[in-house]
Amino acid sequence: MSTPLRLGIAGLGTVGAGVVKIVQRKAELLTARTGRSVEIVAVSARNRDKDRGVRLKDYAWEDDPVALARRDDVDLFVELMGGSDGPAKAATEAAIAGGKDVVTANKAMLALHGQDLALAAEEAGVALRFEAAVAGGIPVVKALTEGLAGNEVQRVMGVMNGTCNYILTRMEHAGLPYEEVFEEANALGYLEADPTLDVGGIDAGHKLSLLSAIAFGTQVDFGSVELEGIERIEIADIEQARDMGFRIKLLGVAQMTGRGLEQRMAPCLVPADSPLGQLEGGTNMVVLEGDAVGQIVLRGAGAGEGPTASAVMSDVLDIARGIRVSTFGQPASSLEKPVPAKATAPAPFYLRMELQDKPGALAKVATVLGEAGVSIDRMRQYRHQRTTAPVLFVTHKCPREALDRALVAMGATGVVEGHPVAIRIEEV
């Protein structure tokens, strides 16, 4: 009879408890599907006495996750603590050095240290898997590394942070301002301890950088992801987008061009009738485009106990079956360092600004746009204020560089109050 696969789980929060539940409740199913039993032998967490809703008394306890990673009776180290450095990184490195396979849900650690960890795993001859680090229960890592391995990927695109999607769709349906929905999401426990990780686009940017590495055969380069969060989106933007047949999404886009690798995570307008436009609440969606397969759309729960634990277990079961796949789909030593590139392909843009309520203000702005090579498709003035006039433009297709030149020049006109909001209208 095959020997069991013995797990050591570090981190017993929502996801860790979910993994324990699956192992305990689905033991026969896991054995049937892998040909060997999957057993937990030891666990580690910050608080030994906390009630997590699962039975833990049968497992050895380690206060130090590094000690857990070094145990002789652990074959597979499951890292679910989180954090880009500290105990998570130290324990992962210890496990790899000890010849143990690793499964992690830690997108921040991999976004910052993924190349070094993948090289270490390769040298040690162990697996480092991270399906749960991107898009929760959606098997997008497996889709790229296995299902689409015969494709040259042309573009990766998606909504990868459920909290931001919840906030934007809640603002739209309830007609509530950003600040109020933000507090509501925080009260519901949807936001990270540092909310800027969510609303600032950082969490989603981590995920995009990992998918880019797999899709384009490059080293992870989170530092080159262009990041813009949703903090400046107002209910007026959402309403105006809806009136034009669009919805606003925090959208990640990555593609390889002749100039280098483009990676951007920013609010975009997408057609309301597109799959991305119809995405509601905390759901995630990833769109993959390959030269042979065309466009693939993956949709599902992007977070939560069950979906994320499901993704963790998919990696665990692959290792139990003896399936070995390089961390980023090909040997880490073969991954090229990418050349970062900014998006230059022309696109239409939504542009909202507050103009001083005086003669000639609109003409000055139109002149600045024209001189920068940005032509106006349509314009609307709405909700006239006491001293300012809110104005909305939609441009014809133009390079972002041209629009940025215009935005800088507007500051010298003396008629624009505050900072204009510019949102790309994405073709999906």
Tokens 């689905």 identify what position? 26
Whether the Cβ atoms of residue 9 and residue 22 lie closer than 8 Å to each other: no
Closest listed residue to residue 105, CA positions, set 42, 41, 13: 13
Closest listed residue to residue 422, CA positions, set 351, 373, 345, 355: 351
Whether the Cβ atoms of residue 270 and residue 249 lie closer than 8 Å to each other: yes
Burial of 17 (0-12, 13-18, 19+ CB in 10 A): buried
Task: Spot the catalytic one: 89, 207, 249, 364.
Answer: 207
- CA-to-CA distance for 411 and 395, rounded, in angstroms? 19
Distances (CA, A) of 241 to 168, 248, 352: 12, 7, 11
Residue 284 parent element (H or E): strand 283-290
Could you give the count of Cα atoms lying within 13 Å of 178 in the half-sphere of its Cβ? 16
Reading the block at residue 279, the tokens are: 């995405």
Distances (CA, A) of 387 to 224, 355, 362: 40, 9, 14
207 is catalytic: yes
For 83, left (φ over 0), alpha (ψ -120 to 50), or beta? left
Burial of 254 (0-12, 13-18, 19+ CB in 10 A): buried
Maximum CA extent, the chain: 86
Residue 237 parent element (H or E): helix 235-243
Whether the Cβ atoms of residue 263 and residue 225 lie closer than 8 Å to each other: yes
- Give how far the C-alpha of residue 365 lies from the chain's centroid of Cα atoms, to the nearest Å: 36
266 φ, ψ to 5°? Answer: -160, 160
**Active site residues per annotation:** 207
